[in-house]
Amino acid sequence: MMTDFASATERVLDVREIPPQQRHEIIPRLFDNLQPGQGMQIIVDHDPRPLRYFFESVHGDDCQWNYLEQGPEVWRVELRRAA
């Protein structure tokens, strides 16, 4: 699903219908495949703070995290690999 927020090459992943355990396997794997400067967006039904803490601990400054939408029903986050 592409949105107005995404560039033509930026993947948008709506994980609201994916079980939480699968989300935590899929999202890091997709991020690991990003090239420097590339980004992806995730759409979730809650604030994904635990995921943010995971990325900060594993990737540090290599992962740039930007909230594009912050609830109350939908959160949209852009993850970008540092250039």
Kindly report, residue by residue over 23-32, the tens digit of the pLDDT.
889 999 999 9
Count of domains for the chain: 1
> 21 falls in which pLDDT band (50, 70, 90)?
confident
Neighbours of 69 (CB within 10 A): 12
For helices 49-59 and 20-32, the axis angle rounded to 10 degrees is 40
- Residue 37: pLDDT over 50: yes
Domain limits for position 22: 11-81
| Torsion sign, CA atoms 57, 61, 65, 66 | positive
How many Cβ atoms sit within 10 Å of the Cβ of residue 2?
A: 12
pLDDT confidence of 83, banded at 50, 70, 90?
Answer: confident
DSSP H or E stretch at residue 31 = helix 20-32
Instruction: Report whether pLDDT(52) > 90.
Output: yes
pLDDT at residue 1 tops 60: no
Rounded CA-CA distance 42/50 in Å is 14
Asked if the structure places residue 3 within a domain, the reply is no
Kindly report the CATH number assigned to the domain that includes residue 70. Answer: 3.30.110.40
Tokens, residue 71: 């609830």
pTM greater than 0.75 (yes/no): yes
Assign 77 to helix, strand or coil.
strand
